[in-house]
Amino acid sequence: MATDQKVYLFDEVAKHNLIKDCWLVIDGKVYDVTPFMDDHPGGDEVLLAATGKDATNDFEDTGHSDDARDMMHKYYIGEIDKATVPLRRPYTPPKEVYNPDKTQEFIIKILQFLVPLLILGLAFGVRQYTKEKSG
């Protein structure tokens, strides 16, 4: 690594979140993994999911081999300005529509259970009825 390392702002790195242009932040270092997208054993989706954030935990939790860690040097392009990395992304819960009248949903679930039973019972009854007539 050279002594005059390029320092990137987090917002600049976060813009590189495409298959043809993918940068990751791992352990304070910036990596351009675009050439590795097709070769990554976990697929390109895994790398894309790690963009736009500090991917150190994602990388460490996966348990990469020593060979994978050695390979990272090839994709190293600089350092991240740690002051620009957000500590945590704010959690936004999914928008949930409150339905005070759950009776319609309950009735539908009951009917999904009872209608097949009714059809089965009707088929069984018809079979018994036709057996008695013919036998």
- Per-residue pLDDT tens digits of the chain, which is 135 residues long: 445 689 999 999 989 988 899 999 999 999 999 999 888 988 888 888 888 888 888 898 888 888 989 999 999 999 999 888 887 655 555 555 555 666 777 888 889 999 999 999 999 999 999 988 776
DSSP string, the chain: --SS--EE-HHHHHT-EETTEEEEEETTEEEE-GGGTTT-TT-HHHHHHTTTSB-HHHHHHHT--HHHHHHGGGGEEEEE-GGGS-S-PPP-PPP----S--HHHHHHHHHHHHHHHHHHHHHHHHHHHHHHHH-
Alpha carbon 33 to its chain centroid, in Å, reads 19
The Cα 53–Cα 30 span in angstroms is: 11
Cα angle at 9 between 41 and 16, to 5 degrees?
40
> What is the pTM (predicted TM-score) of this model?
0.61
Q: Which residues pair with 26 in a beta bridge?
A: 29
- The tokens for 97 are 């529509």
**Predicted local confidence at residue 1, as pLDDT:** 46
Sequence letter at residue 84:
T
